[in-house]
DNA sequence: TATTGTTATACTCTATAACTATA
DNA sequence: TATAGTTATAGAGTATAACAATA
């Protein structure tokens, strides 16, 4: 079409390229989860690019907003990352002006995390954008199936019961 | 317990830390998919550590085995990565002795990918290990729910229909 | 001694962009 | 001109390991 020999383009990611045999992959829940996650991740990031918000940053903001005075160690535990990772994450959110490190009265080693004024205002808008994006991404499912899906995903997230 | 001040440990990743409010996150399919993917990924990698196989490497081996003479460019498209990424992936699988680059008769630029003898033998065992792991990971779902889940995940992987 | 936050460092994954040899 | 494979490079993301301040 146009004159662009450069650019790897990508497109959205086609879960089923025509003419390709997928064999056992199509029967694996693990593969299905991976495909769904890849697709949803990129749509999320695009939709939230305006705020430079990734799924992890959004999760962190919500958790901080609902759990007053959360420490960095606890945030790391909740998100499933190591403490040094939460420092990087928190540094980014602080630089964006969304959260602050607040001194903890009883413990001079720790900081409690809290949303800034701007963080509170923007999180409301960001949450609305996330809900809009979620609605679009799950538009092919009615409320009942959506609920079933959430239940089953929750079961998959539990460690194996061996 | 023991005398180890070092080690960040991690454990498996707890999707619901007691005492923590998750708010809107618990209602989002996107967050549920992410949690499920994190949990299943680490279990997969642990179960396949013996062969140094990741989900992506397994997918590549299956696709190559079922689609004779697949090129690196096509493999990249199927996996949703860029061509330079497929070179890295293919290099690794070649070094492991699982696949070969085979000259394509009509086109001296391209290579067709093919499993080696060892690749064929090991893929059979690896596939069995993956199926065992899959059964363990989805043990909390019966066949009917498992089928529903696969259908819904497939819908999520489609790009939004705006 | 143990814990909190931090830093330095490294490793993995994957992207961009340029290059080469063919087509 | 366009395409297949390749390479160099860089940017996320996240891990390990050590450290200072405090408990």
Please list every residue in chain B whose beta carbon sits closer than 8 Å to the beta carbon of residue A25. Answer: 59, 62-63
Burial class from Cβ neighbours inside 10 Å (0-12, 13-18, 19+) for residue A126 reads buried
pTM: 0.92
Question: With 90 as the cut, is the pLDDT of residue B5 above it?
Answer: no
Choice among A24-28, B59-63, B156-160 with the minimum mean pLDDT: B156-160
Count CA atoms closer than 13 A to B35's CA, side-chain side: 27
Question: With 50 as the cut, is the pLDDT of residue A6 above it?
Answer: no
Please list every residue in chain B whose beta carbon sits closer than 8 Å to the beta carbon of residue A136. Answer: 160, 162
Band of residue A12 on the pLDDT scale cut at 50, 70, 90: confident
Q: Is the CB of residue A146 less than 8 Å from the CB of residue B29? A: yes
Whole-number Å distance between alpha carbons of B148 and B159: 19
Whole-number Å distance between alpha carbons of A2 and A5: 9
Where does B42-140 show beta strands of DSSP type E? 99-104, 107-115
- Which nucleotide lies closest to B83 by the C1' atom and the CA atom? D5
Q: Is the CB of residue A98 less than 8 Å from the CB of residue A122? A: yes
Q: What is the pLDDT of residue A5?
A: 34
Q: Do B137 and A152 touch (CB under 8 A)?
A: no
In the numeric block, which tokens belong to residue B147? Answer: 């089928």
Q: What is the pLDDT of residues B72-95, one digit of tens each?
A: 999 999 999 999 999 999 999 999
Q: Do A40 and B33 touch (CB under 8 A)?
A: yes
Question: With 50 as the cut, is the pLDDT of residue B6 above it?
Answer: no
B128, closest residue in chain A (CA to CA)? A24
Question: With 50 as the cut, is the pLDDT of residue B123 above it?
Answer: yes
In the numeric block, which tokens belong to residue B54? Answer: 């990741």
If we measure between CA atoms, which residue out of A40, A54, A13, A33 comes closest to residue A133?
Answer: A40
Question: If you count them, how many residues does chain B have?
Answer: 162
Whole-number Å distance between alpha carbons of A9 and A15: 16
């Amino acid at each position: 079409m146009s004159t662009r020999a450069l650019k790897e383009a990508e497109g959205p990611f086609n879960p089923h390229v025509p003419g390709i045999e997928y064999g056992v992959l199509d029967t694996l829940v693990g593969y299905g989860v991976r495909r769904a996650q890849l697709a949803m991740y990129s749509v999320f990031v695009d939709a939230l690019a305006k705020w430079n918000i990734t799924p992890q940053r959004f999760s962190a903001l919500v958790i901080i907003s609902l759990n007053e005075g959360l420490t960095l160690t606890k945030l790391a535990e909740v998100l499933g990352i190591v403490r040094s990772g939460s420092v990087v994450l928190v540094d980014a959110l602080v630089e964006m002006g969304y959260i602050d490190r607040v001194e903890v009265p009883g413990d001079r080693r720790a900081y409690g995390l809290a949303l800034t004024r701007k963080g509170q205002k923007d999180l409301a808008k960001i949450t609305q954008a996330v809900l809009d994006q979620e609605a679009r991404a799950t538009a092919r499912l009615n409320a009942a199936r959506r609920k079933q899906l959430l239940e089953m995903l929750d079961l998959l997230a539990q460690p194996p019961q061996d």
